[in-house]
Amino acid sequence: MAPNSDILPGRYADIETIGAGGMGEIYRATDEELGRSVAVKVLSERFARDDALRGRFKREALAAARLSGVPNIVTIFDVGEHGSRPFIVMEYLAGGSLESRLGDGGVEPSEAVAWLEDAAAALDAAHEAGIVHRDVKPGNLLLDDRGRVHVADFGIASAAGMDSFTKTGTVLGTAGYLSPEQAKGERATAASDRYALAIVAFELLTGRRPFAAGSATAEAAAHIHAPIPSVHEANPALPHELDAVFDRALAKEPGARYGSAAELVADLRHALHDAAGATGVLRPPTAATMRLPTRRPGWLFPALAVVAALALAGIAVAVLTTRDSGNSGAPPTTVVQTVTGQGSTVERTVTTAPAPAPTTTGASSQSGSALNDAGYAKMGAGDYNGALPLLEQAVAKLDGTGQTTEAYAKYNLAYTRYALGRCDGVLDLLASSESIQGKRKEIDRLRKRAQKTCGG
């Protein structure tokens, strides 16, 4: 049933209900004066008569408005009152929430980490402003049309310098994501938000919450008393290295947790990357292609580590490529293999002519992250010609986002171009990837080879 059109001021039309929370209802509407879709949160009628709750709702609006304009935080456009009911007007994000993206087995780690990095940036910015969210959960992490996360509903946030929103012993938040101190009825801090973000991370990676129980009361108690479960046991496809990250992120004592949300997510990313590097299967290059180790899609490949592995086997490999001559296809690649056996040395030189590069007609409807994963899969299969257009589209879509997925896509594109004997943009792509994720030995190795072959 459509909501009463009198619920909002006359400038808002086409009103429809899109959700409800503990304190009010949420509507999507069209702001006819500014010609844009907005989301409007209205204090529930049963609470509007309570002066204390009305004051709390207004403080919520003040706390959220202080963060408007911060990247990855939902923007507040207006705060007002209509029909004796306070309301907050916010930007409308059409991508839905992370709650709607959760499946039984979680999501791809590359996508999960990209979303978590967005949320971490928002929470760290809020904490620097003295604001604690207090209800971090997938339902409050909203996606825009580019697949970027924005943190919404600082609805039970507490702002530094203001009176507490709660009385002693009152628990606010959602049981599945409560920190141990919140579950005890103690005041939430920035460390509580980081704990909740770690719960979200566990759920994204495994498809379930770490302390899930038969009732909200039992789950809240588990946060206080239950041991931290193994993420690897919850999802055997994930590496053991993640367990140490969650042991710290979900520590019972706030002071033992990560000092920032960004540090937490960075350790998740590094654990996934390092584990993939340690367990990857190295395949030697053939005359036709330089193959990659088998790894989880979307994660940065440790470029040219295959050379070191081959050296241990007594095989030296040199890849000589020609400069790009402006052709749409890739130039021939010459591979010189020197094999030393007992009492003899054999040198073989093979020149290959790669297939013409495919043409791309129109931009893909896939996200940049999905395109990067698809391109990486083709790299892993040795199909660099097939990977090239996918990675070029991925870079175009991710360029300027500052996400680590952008760094991975740019590295993968640089590696693919180099593997095809092309020099165009390789060094620039590596520099951009490094500017996002910092110094990495894989980038240094590929840069040195590209400089030697391509100049610059």
Cα distance between residue 282 and residue 315, in whole Å: 14
Q: What is the largest CA-CA distance in the chain?
A: 95
Cα distance between residue 27 and residue 41, in whole Å: 6
Cα distance between residue 408 and residue 376, in whole Å: 10
**DSSP bridge partners of 76:** 90
Instruction: Spell out the residues 6+ positions from residue 332 whose beta carbon is closer than 8 angstroms to its own.
Output: 322, 351, 352, 353, 354, 421
Contact of 285 with 291, CB cutoff 8 Å: yes
Q: Is 135 a catalytic residue?
A: yes
Minimal CA–CA distance to 232: which of 224, 243, 220, 248?
243
Cα distance between residue 44 and residue 401, in whole Å: 37
The one catalytic residue among 31, 118, 124, 135: 135
Contact of 454 with 426, CB cutoff 8 Å: yes
Minimal CA–CA distance to 338: which of 354, 349, 353?
349
Determine whether 172 is exposed, middle or buried from the number of CB atoms within 10 Å of its CB (0-12, 13-18, 19+).
Answer: middle
Catalytic residue IDs: 135
